[in-house]
Amino acid sequence: VQRLAITDTLTGGYNRRYLDQFLAKEIQRCARYQHGFSLIMLDIDGFKAYNDAHGHPAGDEALREVVRLLRHNLRVVDVVARYGGEEFIIVLPETSAERALSVAEKIRAVVAAHPFAHGRLTVSLGVAYCPAEAESTPDALIASADEALYRAKRGGRDRVVS
């Protein structure tokens, strides 16, 4: 029952409630142990068109497949949460900004190369970093990653921006 309360029922990733709780704790850990962490916001490019062309069941399967790809290409300690619709947030504990950019680029390439059932999908990713000495909030970190994500979208999609 506890697991169900923190899980997105469609994708099997964590839900927004869990993300909010985890981010608050990670910011506290960051300050206490003097290490930073990174956050990636991911959006599936052109997902509405994919849904319109192939139907919502195909779109749902694509969302589940993206979460499987993320989990397969991340560490066990990393958190994958559905933020809304086709947007996901990945929290990378004890991960530098440079390393997070590398992880985001790997994810971008893995998704672009994956043979989805109804055609190619790409993702755009925005990366934010919370240094140990910063006083940050979950909302501020998400806003920073979101702004980077929208720069990636405006820059042509299928890219990583920090």
β-strand partners of 88: 42, 82
Are 160 and 101 within 8 A, CB to CB?
yes
Return the residue matching tokens 């993300």.
Answer: 19
**Residues taking part in catalysis:** 86
User: Which tokens belong to 131?
Assistant: 């240094």
Angle at the Cα of 62 (from 64 to 78), degrees rounded to 5? 40
Return the residue matching tokens 């850990």.
Answer: 29
Return the residue matching tokens 């979460």.
Answer: 67
3-class DSSP state for residue 89?
A: strand
The dihedrals phi and psi of 141, each to the nearest 5 degrees, come to: -65, -45
DSSP structural state of residue 152: H
